[in-house]
Amino acid sequence: MGISAFLVLRVDLSSQSVQLALLIFGIQLALNVLWSFVFFRLRSLLGGLVTIAFLWIAIFLTILSFLNISLLAALLLVPCILWSSIAAFLNYSILVLNR
């Protein structure tokens, strides 16, 4: 994630598309931290599922915004969205099994 952001950051920070892409990246990063807090610290399975759903959308939007700037930066985020998909499925499964 860091290398991906660096590749976008070094293009042209004065560009509005780069600024928007980095803003979306920052939101995605904040949601990533928030999911860990909600799921592990608060032990809220439903809250974690809602948070990770927004996180997945944010990662997807980050990939799309990075794609316009750097193909490599976008491709480097594919493992992130794959892992988030697995984590979302696990979060959902834990929620269903603990009702």
What pLDDT, on the 0 to 100 scale, is given for residue 99?
85
Angle at 18 between CA 73 and CA 16, to 5 degrees: 160
Q: Distance between CA atoms of 17 and 35, rounded to whole angstroms?
A: 27
The CA-atom distances, in angstroms, between 19 and each of 24, 37, 38, 82 are 9, 27, 28, 25
Total domains in the fold of the chain: 1
Q: Distance between CA atoms of 44 and 49, rounded to whole angstroms?
A: 9
Task: Say how far residue 57 (Cα) sits from the centre of its chain.
Answer: 7
Residue stretches of the chain with pLDDT short of 70? none
DSSP label of 76 = T
Helices (H), 15-77: 16-36, 45-67, 71-75
Q: How many CB atoms lie within 10 A of CB 85?
A: 13
Domain housing 72: 2-97
